[in-house]
Amino acid sequence: MLSGDITQRARSAQFRAARAFIDSLRPLPVLALPGNHDLPLFDLPARLLAPYGEYRRYICGDLAPWWLGDEVAVVGVNSTRVLRHKHGVITPAVVDAVARRLGRFSAASFRVVALHHPLAIVDSDDRRNRVRGADAALAAWTAAGADLFLGGHIHLPYCVPAGPEASRAVALQAGTAVSTRRRGGRPNSYHLVRLDGTAGRRIDVEQLDYTGAEGFRTCRRWHADFGAAGWSLHAG
């Protein structure tokens, strides 16, 4: 899952490099979403007339793809907007459409929603970065059965309960995978998520940080178990 900002400045060469990286992951399925950096910033005609042109050409023609596996359903949401420099928006129409799609999946499936901008924040400085419409989206999507929310944008990795009804779902926020744009000196990182529905319902998350000579190594773990009260999240 690539949760946006696949390029730095939406240039063709950067998209070609990103396409080569995605192709190197085959045969794994890859779901990608646009981030605000994947829209041209300095090329104003392109931003107004064909803002997703290069993204559609090299990455994916669908800006909000979804994927259904045997035990997992993933719904992508495009939270970027052409007329907003970097902040994201989820409109009421998108909230309703995603909720309807989630409701059509089997209750036995883990239901995952992915977008670029964060739905849940842990740092008060990120209030301005939280996607507009987050409260309505969290309420509707958890009610429709969402288990896990994936996000990016703020270069800060964490895993927290999501929404006002904290036990209903889990929010997993990505750090910086391969870019040099890192937050607060944190290393590059990515998350490995395991979903287990064989004995109850369980989500296991590993955060792997780049350590230099040893490559990416596991540095943090979270575990979420579903019980009568909903998701119970703990680190360790």
pLDDT at 114 (0 to 100): 98
- pTM of the predicted model, to two decimals? 0.93
Alpha carbons 194 and 104: distance in angstroms, whole number: 23
| Contact between residue 63 and residue 34 where contact means Cβ atoms under 8 Å apart | yes
Work out the percent of the chain whose per-residue pLDDT is above 90: 76
Alpha carbons 58 and 78: distance in angstroms, whole number: 17
Residue 144 has pLDDT above 90, yes or no: yes
**Residue among 129, 142, 153, 135 nearest 98 (CA):** 142
Alpha carbons 156 and 162: distance in angstroms, whole number: 16
Please list, in sequence order, all residues whose beta carbon lies within 8 angstroms of the beta carbon of residue 111, skipping any fewer than 6 positions away: 73, 75, 102, 105, 144, 145, 146, 147, 148
**Residue among 133, 45, 134, 146 nearest 105 (CA):** 146
Decide yes or no: CATH 3.60.21.10 for domain 12-235: yes
Amino acid at 54: E
Residue 165 has pLDDT above 70, yes or no: no
pLDDT at 73 (0 to 100): 96
Please report which helix (H) or strand (E) contains residue 150, including its range.
Answer: strand 148-151
Alpha carbons 127 and 219: distance in angstroms, whole number: 27
Residue 13 has pLDDT above 60, yes or no: yes
Structural domain boundaries of the chain?
A: 12-235
| Contact between residue 202 and residue 176 where contact means Cβ atoms under 8 Å apart | no
Joined together, the tokens standing for residue 197 give 């529905």
- Render pLDDT for 41-61 as a digit per residue (tens, 0 to 9): 888 788 778 899 999 999 999
Ranges of H-type helices in the chain: 12-24, 44-49, 53-58, 92-104, 134-143
Residue 180 has pLDDT above 80, yes or no: yes
**Residue among 138, 157, 36 nearest 88 (CA):** 36
Pairwise pLDDT comparison (85 vs 94), residue with the higher score: 94
pLDDT at 164 (0 to 100): 60
Q: Rg of the chain's alpha carbons, rounded to an integer?
A: 17
pLDDT at 44 (0 to 100): 79
Alpha carbons 189 and 193: distance in angstroms, whole number: 13
